Protein backbone atom coordinates (compact mmCIF):
# COMPACT_ATOMS: atom_id res chain seq x y z
CA UNK A 1 0.00 0.00 0.00
CA UNK A 2 1.42 3.40 -0.98
CA UNK A 3 1.52 6.37 1.33
CA UNK A 4 -1.37 8.19 -0.34
CA UNK A 5 -3.37 4.96 -0.49
CA UNK A 6 -2.86 4.63 3.25
CA UNK A 7 -4.03 8.19 3.84
CA UNK A 8 -7.00 7.56 1.60
CA UNK A 9 -8.11 4.50 3.52
CA UNK A 10 -7.41 6.11 6.90
CA UNK A 11 -8.49 9.68 6.27
CA UNK A 12 -11.03 9.49 9.07
CA UNK A 13 -8.14 9.05 11.50
CA UNK A 14 -6.44 12.31 10.44
CA UNK A 15 -7.51 14.91 12.98
CA UNK A 16 -5.48 17.85 11.71
CA UNK A 17 -2.87 18.93 9.15
CA UNK A 18 -0.18 21.42 10.18
CA UNK A 19 2.66 23.11 8.31
CA UNK A 20 5.99 24.29 9.74
CA UNK A 21 8.10 27.30 8.69
CA UNK A 22 9.97 25.22 6.12
CA UNK A 23 6.77 24.26 4.38
CA UNK A 24 6.68 20.67 5.61
CA UNK A 25 3.30 19.14 6.42
CA UNK A 26 2.57 17.21 9.60
CA UNK A 27 -0.46 15.01 9.96
CA UNK A 28 -1.90 14.49 13.43
CA UNK A 29 -3.21 10.93 13.42
CA UNK A 30 -4.12 10.57 17.11
CA UNK A 31 -6.09 12.68 19.52
CA UNK A 32 -4.79 14.02 22.82
CA UNK A 33 -6.57 11.52 25.03
CA UNK A 34 -4.56 9.56 27.57
CA UNK A 35 -3.20 6.19 26.45
CA UNK A 36 -2.69 5.00 30.04
CA UNK A 37 -3.44 1.31 30.38
CA UNK A 38 -5.98 -0.01 32.88
CA UNK A 39 -4.52 -2.51 35.27
CA UNK A 40 -5.88 -5.00 37.72
CA UNK A 41 -4.04 -4.93 41.04
CA UNK A 42 -2.06 -8.15 40.68
CA UNK A 43 -1.41 -7.49 36.99
CA UNK A 44 -0.01 -4.05 37.75
CA UNK A 45 2.25 -5.40 40.49
CA UNK A 46 3.55 -8.28 38.36
CA UNK A 47 4.10 -6.26 35.17
CA UNK A 48 5.23 -2.84 36.39
CA UNK A 49 8.80 -2.65 37.69
CA UNK A 50 8.39 0.72 39.43
CA UNK A 51 5.22 -0.29 41.31
CA UNK A 52 6.72 -3.70 42.09
CA UNK A 53 9.75 -2.08 43.74
CA UNK A 54 7.66 0.30 45.83
CA UNK A 55 5.27 -2.40 47.07
CA UNK A 56 8.20 -4.73 47.82
CA UNK A 57 9.81 -1.99 49.91
CA UNK A 58 6.61 -1.52 51.91
CA UNK A 59 5.83 -5.20 52.51
CA UNK A 60 9.45 -6.22 53.14
CA UNK A 61 9.72 -3.58 55.86
CA UNK A 62 6.20 -4.02 57.22
CA UNK A 63 6.76 -7.72 57.91
CA UNK A 64 9.57 -6.79 60.33
CA UNK A 65 7.07 -5.39 62.83
CA UNK A 66 6.68 -7.07 66.20
CA UNK A 67 2.97 -7.70 66.77
CA UNK A 68 2.03 -8.67 70.31
CA UNK A 69 -0.93 -8.76 72.66
CA UNK A 70 -0.90 -6.66 75.83
CA UNK A 71 -3.19 -6.92 78.83
CA UNK A 72 -3.30 -3.97 81.23
CA UNK A 73 -0.17 -2.71 79.49
CA UNK A 74 1.80 -5.93 80.03
CA UNK A 75 2.96 -8.33 77.32
CA UNK A 76 1.09 -11.64 77.22
CA UNK A 77 2.42 -14.70 75.41
CA UNK A 78 -0.19 -17.26 76.42
CA UNK A 79 -3.17 -16.29 74.27
CA UNK A 80 -4.83 -17.05 70.96
CA UNK A 81 -2.58 -14.56 69.10
CA UNK A 82 0.49 -16.44 70.29
CA UNK A 83 -1.02 -19.62 68.81
CA UNK A 84 -1.82 -17.89 65.52
CA UNK A 85 1.74 -16.57 65.31
CA UNK A 86 3.13 -20.09 65.63
CA UNK A 87 1.45 -21.10 62.36
CA UNK A 88 -1.40 -19.02 60.88
CA UNK A 89 -2.03 -21.72 58.24
CA UNK A 90 -0.23 -24.78 56.84
CA UNK A 91 1.50 -22.76 54.12
CA UNK A 92 2.75 -19.60 55.81
CA UNK A 93 4.88 -18.46 58.69
CA UNK A 94 3.72 -15.48 60.74
CA UNK A 95 6.17 -13.25 58.86
CA UNK A 96 4.74 -14.44 55.53
CA UNK A 97 1.24 -13.80 56.86
CA UNK A 98 2.00 -10.21 57.88
CA UNK A 99 3.81 -9.58 54.59
CA UNK A 100 0.80 -10.73 52.60
CA UNK A 101 -1.54 -8.51 54.60
CA UNK A 102 0.66 -5.46 53.94
CA UNK A 103 0.79 -6.40 50.25
CA UNK A 104 -2.99 -6.63 49.79
CA UNK A 105 -3.75 -3.52 51.86
CA UNK A 106 -1.20 -1.48 49.91
CA UNK A 107 -3.07 -2.30 46.70
CA UNK A 108 -6.66 -2.14 47.98
CA UNK A 109 -9.12 -3.93 50.24
CA UNK A 110 -8.08 -6.99 52.23
CA UNK A 111 -10.35 -10.06 52.22
CA UNK A 112 -9.52 -12.04 55.34
CA UNK A 113 -10.92 -15.55 55.69
CA UNK A 114 -11.27 -17.13 59.10
CA UNK A 115 -13.14 -20.44 58.71
CA UNK A 116 -15.12 -19.79 61.89
CA UNK A 117 -17.13 -16.74 62.84
CA UNK A 118 -14.80 -16.06 65.77
CA UNK A 119 -11.06 -16.30 66.30
CA UNK A 120 -9.98 -19.59 67.82
CA UNK A 121 -6.82 -21.49 68.59
CA UNK A 122 -5.70 -24.24 66.19
CA UNK A 123 -7.56 -22.54 63.36
CA UNK A 124 -6.25 -21.55 59.93
CA UNK A 125 -6.41 -18.02 58.55
CA UNK A 126 -5.98 -16.85 54.95
CA UNK A 127 -6.15 -13.81 52.71
CA UNK A 128 -8.30 -14.06 49.59
CA UNK A 129 -7.59 -12.65 46.13
CA UNK A 130 -10.56 -10.53 44.99
CA UNK A 131 -9.94 -11.41 41.34
CA UNK A 132 -10.78 -15.05 42.12
CA UNK A 133 -14.34 -14.37 43.27
CA UNK A 134 -16.82 -15.47 40.60
CA UNK A 135 -19.35 -13.14 38.96
CA UNK A 136 -22.24 -14.26 41.18
CA UNK A 137 -20.19 -13.41 44.25
CA UNK A 138 -19.47 -9.92 42.93
CA UNK A 139 -23.21 -9.44 42.38
CA UNK A 140 -23.84 -10.47 45.99
CA UNK A 141 -21.17 -8.04 47.15
CA UNK A 142 -22.96 -5.25 45.30
CA UNK A 143 -26.32 -6.23 46.78
CA UNK A 144 -25.27 -6.71 50.40
CA UNK A 145 -22.76 -3.91 50.49
CA UNK A 146 -25.26 -1.25 49.37
CA UNK A 147 -27.77 -1.96 52.08
CA UNK A 148 -27.71 0.54 54.91
CA UNK A 149 -29.17 -1.05 58.01
CA UNK A 150 -29.70 -0.31 61.68
CA UNK A 151 -29.00 -3.96 62.42
CA UNK A 152 -26.07 -4.78 64.66
CA UNK A 153 -23.30 -7.02 63.33
CA UNK A 154 -24.83 -10.21 64.72
CA UNK A 155 -28.22 -9.48 63.12
CA UNK A 156 -26.57 -8.67 59.79
CA UNK A 157 -24.58 -11.91 59.83
CA UNK A 158 -27.72 -13.83 60.71
CA UNK A 159 -29.53 -12.39 57.67
CA UNK A 160 -26.72 -12.46 55.10
CA UNK A 161 -23.91 -14.49 56.65
CA UNK A 162 -24.99 -17.88 55.34
CA UNK A 163 -24.93 -16.76 51.72
CA UNK A 164 -22.25 -18.67 49.87
CA UNK A 165 -19.54 -16.89 47.93
CA UNK A 166 -17.54 -18.87 45.38
CA UNK A 167 -13.75 -18.67 45.24
CA UNK A 168 -12.09 -19.99 42.06
CA UNK A 169 -8.56 -21.34 42.07
CA UNK A 170 -6.20 -21.18 39.09
CA UNK A 171 -7.13 -24.76 38.13
CA UNK A 172 -10.82 -23.67 38.00
CA UNK A 173 -11.69 -25.63 41.12
CA UNK A 174 -14.22 -23.71 43.22
CA UNK A 175 -14.51 -23.48 46.99
CA UNK A 176 -17.70 -22.39 48.74
CA UNK A 177 -17.18 -19.93 51.59
CA UNK A 178 -19.99 -18.57 53.83
CA UNK A 179 -20.02 -14.78 53.78
CA UNK A 180 -19.94 -14.69 57.60
CA UNK A 181 -16.44 -16.17 57.56
CA UNK A 182 -14.97 -13.33 55.47
CA UNK A 183 -13.82 -10.08 57.04
CA UNK A 184 -13.48 -7.21 54.55
CA UNK A 185 -10.86 -4.68 55.61
CA UNK A 186 -11.45 -1.58 53.45
CA UNK A 187 -8.47 0.50 52.37
CA UNK A 188 -10.59 3.52 51.55
CA UNK A 189 -14.10 4.76 50.86
CA UNK A 190 -16.24 2.86 48.35
CA UNK A 191 -19.64 4.45 47.78
CA UNK A 192 -20.96 1.54 45.69
CA UNK A 193 -20.55 -1.28 48.19
CA UNK A 194 -18.71 -2.09 51.39
CA UNK A 195 -17.56 -5.38 49.87
CA UNK A 196 -16.44 -4.33 46.39
CA UNK A 197 -12.76 -4.02 45.52
CA UNK A 198 -11.21 -0.62 46.18
CA UNK A 199 -8.34 -0.52 43.67
CA UNK A 200 -5.87 2.06 44.98
CA UNK A 201 -3.74 2.07 41.86
CA UNK A 202 -6.53 3.47 39.68
CA UNK A 203 -5.48 6.96 40.72
CA UNK A 204 -1.89 6.41 39.56
CA UNK A 205 -2.64 4.55 36.32
CA UNK A 206 -0.92 7.23 34.25
CA UNK A 207 2.25 7.09 36.34
CA UNK A 208 2.31 3.31 36.08
CA UNK A 209 1.69 3.45 32.33
CA UNK A 210 4.35 6.16 31.88
CA UNK A 211 6.96 4.09 33.70
CA UNK A 212 6.16 1.05 31.53
CA UNK A 213 6.28 3.11 28.32
CA UNK A 214 9.62 4.61 29.33
CA UNK A 215 11.19 1.19 29.82
CA UNK A 216 9.63 -0.04 26.55
CA UNK A 217 10.98 3.00 24.69
CA UNK A 218 14.44 2.53 26.15
CA UNK A 219 14.40 -1.14 25.15
CA UNK A 220 13.42 -0.25 21.57
CA UNK A 221 16.04 2.47 21.32
CA UNK A 222 18.76 0.18 22.66
CA UNK A 223 17.83 -2.21 19.86
CA UNK A 224 18.04 0.56 17.25
CA UNK A 225 21.31 1.88 18.68
CA UNK A 226 22.94 -1.17 17.06
CA UNK A 227 21.76 -0.05 13.63
CA UNK A 228 23.07 2.58 11.21
CA UNK A 229 21.65 5.09 8.77
CA UNK A 230 23.29 5.56 5.38
CA UNK A 231 22.54 8.51 3.09
CA UNK A 232 24.11 10.84 0.53
CA UNK A 233 26.75 13.33 1.48
CA UNK A 234 30.12 11.59 1.81
CA UNK A 235 32.46 10.12 -0.80
CA UNK A 236 32.51 6.41 -0.13
CA UNK A 237 36.28 6.26 -0.72
CA UNK A 238 36.72 8.39 2.41
CA UNK A 239 33.99 6.61 4.31
CA UNK A 240 36.10 5.26 7.18
CA UNK A 241 37.42 8.73 7.95
CA UNK A 242 34.03 10.39 7.69
CA UNK A 243 32.16 8.08 10.07
CA UNK A 244 32.23 9.83 13.42
CA UNK A 245 31.54 8.44 16.85
CA UNK A 246 32.25 4.83 15.88
CA UNK A 247 35.10 2.56 16.89
CA UNK A 248 37.72 1.27 14.44
CA UNK A 249 36.15 -2.20 14.27
CA UNK A 250 32.75 -0.68 13.48
CA UNK A 251 34.20 1.67 10.86
CA UNK A 252 36.08 -1.12 9.14
CA UNK A 253 33.01 -3.35 9.17
CA UNK A 254 30.83 -0.64 7.60
CA UNK A 255 33.48 0.23 5.00
CA UNK A 256 33.86 -3.42 3.96
CA UNK A 257 30.11 -3.75 3.48
CA UNK A 258 29.82 -0.49 1.52
CA UNK A 259 32.78 -1.30 -0.73
CA UNK A 260 31.60 -4.87 -1.34
CA UNK A 261 28.83 -6.04 -3.59
CA UNK A 262 26.47 -6.68 -0.68
CA UNK A 263 23.11 -4.92 -1.11
CA UNK A 264 22.78 -1.73 0.91
CA UNK A 265 19.60 0.34 0.98
CA UNK A 266 20.70 3.95 0.50
CA UNK A 267 19.36 7.01 -1.30
CA UNK A 268 22.40 7.40 -3.57
CA UNK A 269 25.19 5.28 -4.97
CA UNK A 270 28.32 7.43 -4.91
CA UNK A 271 28.32 9.66 -1.84
CA UNK A 272 27.38 8.05 1.46
CA UNK A 273 27.30 9.10 5.08
CA UNK A 274 26.77 6.52 7.81
CA UNK A 275 25.85 7.23 11.42
CA UNK A 276 24.33 5.33 14.28
CA UNK A 277 20.53 5.29 14.15
CA UNK A 278 20.48 6.27 17.84
CA UNK A 279 23.62 8.22 18.62
CA UNK A 280 23.18 9.07 22.32
CA UNK A 281 20.70 7.21 24.50
CA UNK A 282 21.42 9.43 27.49
CA UNK A 283 20.14 12.51 25.68
CA UNK A 284 16.72 10.87 25.33
CA UNK A 285 16.25 11.11 29.12
CA UNK A 286 14.73 7.68 29.69
CA UNK A 287 16.46 7.12 33.04
CA UNK A 288 15.39 10.49 34.42
CA UNK A 289 11.81 9.98 33.25
CA UNK A 290 11.60 6.53 34.83
CA UNK A 291 13.11 7.76 38.10
CA UNK A 292 10.58 10.60 38.32
CA UNK A 293 7.65 8.19 37.82
CA UNK A 294 9.10 5.74 40.37
CA UNK A 295 9.48 8.50 42.97
CA UNK A 296 5.96 9.81 42.36
CA UNK A 297 4.52 6.29 42.74
CA UNK A 298 6.44 5.87 45.99
CA UNK A 299 5.27 9.23 47.31
CA UNK A 300 1.67 8.19 46.59
CA UNK A 301 2.20 5.43 49.16
CA UNK A 302 3.79 7.88 51.64
CA UNK A 303 7.30 6.51 51.25
CA UNK A 304 9.95 9.25 51.85
CA UNK A 305 12.18 10.17 48.92
CA UNK A 306 15.36 9.22 50.82
CA UNK A 307 14.09 5.68 51.35
CA UNK A 308 12.97 5.30 47.74
CA UNK A 309 16.34 6.43 46.41
CA UNK A 310 18.36 4.14 48.66
CA UNK A 311 16.15 1.15 47.89
CA UNK A 312 16.40 1.67 44.13
CA UNK A 313 20.19 1.90 44.43
CA UNK A 314 20.28 -1.37 46.36
CA UNK A 315 21.32 0.12 49.72
CA UNK A 316 18.35 -1.42 51.52
CA UNK A 317 17.45 -0.40 55.05
CA UNK A 318 20.80 -1.03 56.73
CA UNK A 319 22.60 2.17 55.69
CA UNK A 320 22.68 4.63 58.56
CA UNK A 321 22.96 8.35 59.20
CA UNK A 322 20.86 11.14 60.68
CA UNK A 323 18.94 11.79 57.46
CA UNK A 324 18.27 8.06 56.94
CA UNK A 325 17.14 7.64 60.55
CA UNK A 326 14.63 10.49 60.28
CA UNK A 327 13.39 9.18 56.94
CA UNK A 328 12.89 5.67 58.35
CA UNK A 329 10.92 6.99 61.33
CA UNK A 330 8.77 9.01 58.93
CA UNK A 331 8.33 5.88 56.78
CA UNK A 332 7.09 3.91 59.79
CA UNK A 333 4.77 6.67 61.04
CA UNK A 334 3.21 7.72 57.74
CA UNK A 335 3.20 4.53 55.68
CA UNK A 336 3.57 1.35 57.74
CA UNK A 337 1.72 2.07 60.99
CA UNK A 338 -1.57 3.06 59.31
CA UNK A 339 -1.47 -0.26 57.41
CA UNK A 340 -0.58 -2.40 60.42
CA UNK A 341 -3.17 -0.62 62.55
CA UNK A 342 -5.80 -2.19 60.29
CA UNK A 343 -4.33 -5.64 60.98
CA UNK A 344 -4.21 -5.11 64.73
CA UNK A 345 -7.82 -3.86 64.66
CA UNK A 346 -8.90 -7.19 63.13
CA UNK A 347 -6.80 -9.20 65.57
CA UNK A 348 -8.46 -7.34 68.43
CA UNK A 349 -11.97 -8.49 67.48
CA UNK A 350 -11.85 -11.25 70.10
CA UNK A 351 -10.27 -9.20 72.87
CA UNK A 352 -11.68 -7.64 76.03
CA UNK A 353 -11.48 -3.94 76.88
CA UNK A 354 -8.26 -4.27 78.87
CA UNK A 355 -6.42 -6.02 76.00
CA UNK A 356 -4.88 -4.58 72.87
CA UNK A 357 -2.67 -5.71 69.98
CA UNK A 358 0.28 -3.49 69.09
CA UNK A 359 2.56 -3.37 66.05
CA UNK A 360 5.99 -2.07 66.99
CA UNK A 361 9.32 -1.41 65.31
CA UNK A 362 11.28 -0.51 68.45
CA UNK A 363 13.64 -3.48 67.91
CA UNK A 364 15.00 -2.05 64.63
CA UNK A 365 18.16 0.08 64.62
CA UNK A 366 16.60 3.37 63.57
CA UNK A 367 13.91 3.17 66.26
CA UNK A 368 16.51 2.24 68.89
CA UNK A 369 18.44 5.37 67.99
CA UNK A 370 15.24 7.43 68.21
CA UNK A 371 14.33 5.95 71.62
CA UNK A 372 17.83 6.67 72.92
CA UNK A 373 17.66 10.26 71.67
CA UNK A 374 14.23 10.72 73.26
CA UNK A 375 15.56 9.42 76.59
CA UNK A 376 18.53 11.78 76.42
CA UNK A 377 16.26 14.71 75.58
CA UNK A 378 13.88 13.82 78.43
CA UNK A 379 16.78 13.69 80.91
CA UNK A 380 18.01 17.08 79.73
CA UNK A 381 14.48 18.54 80.09
CA UNK A 382 14.10 17.09 83.60
CA UNK A 383 17.48 18.49 84.66
CA UNK A 384 16.50 21.92 83.36
CA UNK A 385 13.13 21.70 85.13
CA UNK A 386 14.82 20.76 88.43
CA UNK A 387 17.04 23.84 88.18
CA UNK A 388 13.98 25.99 87.44
CA UNK A 389 12.15 24.51 90.46
CA UNK A 390 15.13 25.20 92.72
CA UNK A 391 15.06 28.78 91.50
CA UNK A 392 11.42 29.15 92.58
CA UNK A 393 9.24 27.98 89.67
CA UNK A 394 5.64 27.53 90.84
CA UNK A 395 4.52 23.96 91.53
CA UNK A 396 1.65 24.22 89.03
CA UNK A 397 4.12 25.24 86.33
CA UNK A 398 6.39 22.36 87.31
CA UNK A 399 3.52 19.86 86.90
CA UNK A 400 2.56 21.44 83.61
CA UNK A 401 6.09 21.02 82.27
CA UNK A 402 6.28 17.43 83.57
CA UNK A 403 3.10 16.62 81.66
CA UNK A 404 4.66 18.04 78.51
CA UNK A 405 7.91 16.11 79.00
CA UNK A 406 6.21 12.75 79.58
CA UNK A 407 3.03 13.04 77.54
CA UNK A 408 3.79 15.68 74.95
CA UNK A 409 0.85 17.88 75.95
Q: Give the range among 77-86, 289-298, 366-375 with minimum mean pLDDT.
A: 366-375
Which one is predicted more confidently, 291 or 316?
A: 291
Which one is predicted more confidently, 360 or 266?
A: 360
The answer on 197 and 111 residing in a single domain is yes
- Identify which of 58, 15, 399 has the alpha carbon closest to the alpha carbon of residue 200: 58
The answer on 134 and 15 residing in a single domain is no
**Any domain includes 403:** yes
pLDDT digits (tens, 9 = 90+) for 230-251: 555 555 555 555 555 566 776 6
DSSP calls for 271-317: EEEEEESS--SGGGTHHHHHHHHHHHHHHHTT--HHHHHHHHTT-TT
**Any domain includes 383:** yes
**CA 216 from chain center: how many Å?**
19
Q: How far is CA 175 from CA 164, 166, 181, in A?
A: 10, 6, 13
The answer on 170 and 104 residing in a single domain is yes
**Any domain includes 49:** no
Could you write out the three-class secondary structure of 76-101?
ECCCHHHHHHHCCECCECHHHHHHHH
The answer on 101 and 195 residing in a single domain is yes
User: In this predicted structure, what is the pLDDT of residue 9?
Assistant: 45
Domain that residue 189 falls in:
72-201
pLDDT digits (tens, 9 = 90+) for 359-390: 999 888 777 766 677 777 778 888 888 888 87
Q: Which of 158, 185, 201 is the last residue of a domain?
A: 201
**Any domain includes 126:** yes
pTM higher than 0.85, yes or no?
no
Strand, helix or coil for residue 231: strand
Number of domains in the chain: 3
Amino acid sequence: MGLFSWFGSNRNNILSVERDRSGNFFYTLFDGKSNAKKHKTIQAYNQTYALHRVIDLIKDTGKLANINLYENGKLKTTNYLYQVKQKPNPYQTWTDFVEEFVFWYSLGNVYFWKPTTTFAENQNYYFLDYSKFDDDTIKKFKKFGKKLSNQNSNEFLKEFGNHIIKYKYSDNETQNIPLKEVVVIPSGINTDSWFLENNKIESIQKLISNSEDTLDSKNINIHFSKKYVAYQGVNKDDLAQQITGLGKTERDDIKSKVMSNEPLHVSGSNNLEVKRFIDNLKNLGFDESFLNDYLLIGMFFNVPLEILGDFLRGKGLSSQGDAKEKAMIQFVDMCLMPILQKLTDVLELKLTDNQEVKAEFTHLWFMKVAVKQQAEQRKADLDALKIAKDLGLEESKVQEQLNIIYNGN
